[in-house]
Amino acid sequence: MSNLPLTINEEVYKRLNDIRDLKELSRIARDRSLSAEEKARLAEIASNLTREQVKAALDEGDQLQEVLMLRVDPETHETLPTAADMIQKMQGRNTVQLVENADSILKEVMRTDAEFRVRGLNPLQYGAKGDGETDDTDVLQSLINLMGDSGCLYLPPGYRFLVRHLRVPFKHFTIEGAGELVQKANHGSAVAFEALLYISGNHFTGRQFKIDGNQWEYDDRFQRYGIEFRNVHHHSLDHVTVTDTISVGIVLFDCLEWSWTDVDSSEGASLGLQVIQSSRGKFTNSEFNRNGYGFQQRFIPTNEIVRGLSGFGVAIRFRSSDLTFINCKSNENGRDGFNVNQGSHNIKFIGCECNHNNDGNFTVASDPAEGGSNRPGGGEACYDLSYVDCNAENAWTSGLAIYHPAHNVQVIGGRYFNNFRVAGQRADTIDFYNGIFVAAGSKAFVARAVYCYDDRQTAKVTAVNGTRITVSKWTTGKLNTYPKLSLYSPQGVLKRFFKLVGETSSTITVEVLPHSSDLSDIRAGDLITQAVQPYGLFLEGSAEGEIDVTGYGNPGFRTVRTSPAPFAPFGGRFKIMNSDTDHVNHLRNGGFDNDNDTITNWTPVNCNIRTATERVRSGKSMRIEITGTNGYAQASTIHDVTPFRGAWARFAGWVYSESENVSIILAYVTPTSTPQSEDKHNGMGWNFLECWTYIPENATGIRPRVRGTQGTVFNADNLVLTTQIPKNNA
C-alpha cells in the first residue's frame, strides 16, 4: 500500500498502485526486449557465419546433409526455427501479455469508477467517524469540494455524521444512502438563519438519507434550517426525512422545477416546509406532521389548549405558484396544516389529508410582508386554488379557512367535518369555526360534491346533578379526540360550550371553559353534543360563487349559511346549484301590474314609491325616489317566516339605475340581530340582481328590500322571493 496521504478512496489508490506495479513490469519487459534484440543481432552475425560455412559445404558437398540436420527435428522431421525466429516469437508473447494485463486493469478501474459514480464516496474511508458525537464536518465538506460537479456523497446505513453546516454549490450533485446527517448542537445563530445542508447548485438529487435537527441537545433556540434550497433550478428528493429541527425543516427560496416523493419533514420547532417565491414544484406522498410547537415542545394528543402555536406544516408564500400536492399529509401541527399566503396562485391539493391542526387545517390568507422584507405578494389575495378529494377534520378552527378574500377557489369532492376543537376556549366569534369558511370579498368560490358535516354524537339531557349530566345514551371512547361539547335548547339555540372530562354509557361529566363558565341553565330536554362545528359551509358577506354540498352543522343550523354584515357590501351572490325550489313567489305584488299609480303591499322608508310611467320592463315597474339619507321599499310576504326557517331564501329581480348606490337586500330578524345579504347595482341601466341568504331556525321575520342612498331614483320589476333547499341534505 502506498505511503501517500489518504485523500481519496482506498480502492482507487489500490488500483493506482497496481498501475504503478504494471509500469515496473513494463520496464522489465522492455529491458528484456532490448536484451532479445541484442541476442538477435548476435544470432544474425552467427547466422551470417553459418551461411558462409554452408557455401563452403556446398562446394565440398559432403557436409550439406549434416548442416541441414541441425534444423530438422529427428522425430517429426519438421524444420526448426532459427534462433532469431525464436527470439522474435518470445518478444511478441511478452508484448501480448503486457497488453492483456494493462487491459484487465483498465477495465477494473473503469468498473470501480462507474461504481463510485453511482454509490458515491464514503466518508468513513476518509477519516469520518459517523458516531453522532465526533464532528465530521471537515471530512464531508472536503469530499463535496473534491468531487465538484456530478459528484456523489454516499452515507452508509447505520452511521450518524455530526456536522455544523454543509454547502453544495455544484451542479448535478447527489447525496444518497440510508445514513444520517445530525446537526451539531448549539451551533448557529440566534439571529441569522443557516441550514445544516445548504443547496445552491442546479440539478441536485437527494435519496434515502435522513437529517436530524437535534433540537433537544440545544441549550437555547437558534435559527437553523434542516435543508435550504436557494436559487436552485431542477432538483429532486426521494425518501428523504428531516426531523426535529430547531426551526424550519426544509425551505425553498426562489427555486424552479422540482419533484419530491416520500419526503417527511416533521417534528420541527417551526414549519415543516416553507416555499418562498418559488414555482413549478410537485410533491407526492409526502408528510409534514407535528411541526410548530416551539423550542423543545411536542404535540400533546388531546391538545385542546395550544402551547407554542408557532408554526405550520406547510407555508406557501410570496407569489409562489404552480405547485401540486398529491396524497400528502399535514397533521397535528402547531398552527395551520397547509397554508397558502401572500399572492400565491395556481396551487393544487389532490387527495391530501389535513387533520387536527391548531388553527385551520387548509388555510388561505393575504398577510402583509414582515418588517423589512422586499418580497412581492405581501397583502395580496391568493387565486386559482383547488382542493380535490381532500380530507380536513378536527381543526382548531375550520377544515378550510379562507381568512382573507381569495378568488377562483374550487373545492371538488372530499370531506370537511368535525372541526372547531377550540370551542369555548376563547371568546372569538364562531365565523371561522366551520367545515369551510369563505371570507367576505372572495369571488368565484365553487364547492361541488363536497361533504361538509359534523357527525359526532348528540344526546338529550334527562337529569342534571352539578357537573354530572345524565343523558339518553352516550357512546364512549372519543373523549380525547373530541373533548368539547355544545349545549343547545330544545329549539336548537346554542347556550354554551363545555369540556368533556368523564363519560359512561349514560352519564357525562363536564368542566367549565374560560369563556363558557355558567352551568346554571342546563335543563332536562336540552341537547348536548360533541358536534361543535356550527356550519358545514359559512360564507361571509359579499363573497360570490356556486355551492353543491351535503351535510349539516349543529342541531340549531343546517348545511350552509352566509354571514351578511350590518352595512354594505353585505352578503354575496351565492347560488345553490343542487337544490329544490318551491317555485312560489312569496312576495305580495312583485310585478306591480295590478297597480295604477300607488304601489300596494310595499312599505316605504325614507322614500316615495309609485308605479313607473317610464323605465317599464314588463307591464308596470315600481319607481323609487329616496328622500332620506338612506331609504328602501320593503315588500310584504304572503305568510310569515315559518316556510323559510332552515332553508336558503333567494330574492331576485330587475332593477334600473344610473347610480351605483342601489341594491336589493334580503334580511331576516332574530331575537338579537337583523343580518342581511345584498346584491349591488353597477349603475348602468337594467341589472338582474339576486341575493341568497340562509334563514336559521330561530328567525322571527324576513325582510326583502330595494334600497338606495339619498337623492337616487331607480326602478324595480319582476321581483321574486323563493326558497332553495339543497338536495340530499343530511
Q: Is 421 helix (H, G, I), strand (E, B) or coil?
A: coil
Q: Where are the alpha helices (DSSP H) in 234-331?
A: none
Q: Evaluate if residue 231 carries a pLDDT over 50.
A: yes
**pLDDT band (50, 70, 90) for residue 629:** confident
Residue 674 has a pLDDT of: 80
Residue 66 confidence (pLDDT) above 50: no
Tell me which of 612 and 517 has the higher pLDDT: 612
pLDDT at 539: 76
Residue 613 has pLDDT above 70, yes or no: yes
* pLDDT at position 53: 55
Q: What sign for the dihedral angle of Cα 330, 370, 565, 656?
A: negative
Query: What pLDDT shows up at residue 375?
Result: 87
Q: Would you state the pLDDT for residue 193?
A: 85
pLDDT tens digits, one per residue of 359-390: 999 999 999 887 667 788 989 999 999 999 99
* pLDDT(123) > 60: yes
Q: Compute the distance between CA of residue 297 and CA of residue 311 in angstroms, rounded to an integer.
A: 12
Distance CA 643, CA 124 (A): 79
Specify the range with the lowest mean pLDDT, choosing from 30-39, 547-556, 655-664. 547-556
pLDDT given for residue 3 in this prediction: 41
**Cβ pair 352, 375 in contact under 8 A:** no
Q: Please report the pLDDT score of residue 355 as a whole number.
A: 96
Residue 571 has what DSSP assignment?
A: B
Q: Which three cell numbers stand for residue 624?
A: 323609487
Rounded to an integer, what distance in angstroms lies between the CA atom of residue 309 and that of residue 397? 13
DSSP string, 180-223: EEEEPTT-S-SSS-EEEEEE-SSSEEEES-EEE--GGG-SS---
Which of the four pLDDT bands, split at 50, 70 and 90, describes residue 268? very high
Give 250-255 contacts, CB < 8 A, sequence gap 24+. Answer: 250/225, 250/226, 250/274, 251/195, 251/225, 251/227, 251/275, 251/276, 252/276, 252/278, 252/281, 253/228, 253/229, 253/277, 253/278, 254/230, 254/278, 255/229, 255/230, 255/231, 255/279, 255/281
Question: Does residue 670 register a pLDDT over 90?
Answer: no
- Cβ contacts of 114 within 8 Å, gap of 6 or more: none
pLDDT at position 554 over 90: no
Highest mean pLDDT among 231-245, 301-315, 669-683, 686-700: 231-245
Q: Which residues pair with 55 in a beta bridge?
A: none
Asked whether 633 and 604 are in contact (CB, 8 A), the reply is yes
**Alpha carbon distance 123, 176 (integer Å):** 12
Q: For the residues 261-267, what does the mean pLDDT come to?
A: 98
pLDDT tens digits, residue range 154-180? 999 999 999 999 999 999 999 999 999
Long-range interactions of 597-601: CB distance < 8 A, separation 24+: 599/633, 601/635, 601/636
What is the C-alpha to C-alpha distance for residues 586 and 372, in angstroms, rounded to an integer?
Answer: 57
Q: How far apart are CA 416 and CA 538, in angstroms?
A: 12
Between 132 and 30, residue with greater pLDDT: 132
- Percent of the chain topping pLDDT 90: 47
- Given a cut of 60, whether residue 254 has pLDDT beyond it is yes
The H or E element containing residue 229 is: strand 224-230
Cell of 473: 345514551
Structure confidence at residue 516 as a pLDDT band (50, 70, 90): low
Mean pLDDT of 585-614: 88
* pTM given for the model: 0.70
Digit-coded pLDDT (tens) for 188-198: 877 778 999 99
Most confident of 35-44, 291-300, 319-328: 319-328
Q: How many CB atoms lie within 10 A of CB 251?
A: 24
Query: What's residue 166's pLDDT?
Result: 98
Could you identify the residue written with the cell 551461411? 51
Half-sphere exposure of 110 (CA within 13 A, CB side): 6
Average pLDDT on 391-413 reads 94
Would the pLDDT of 574 be above 70?
A: no
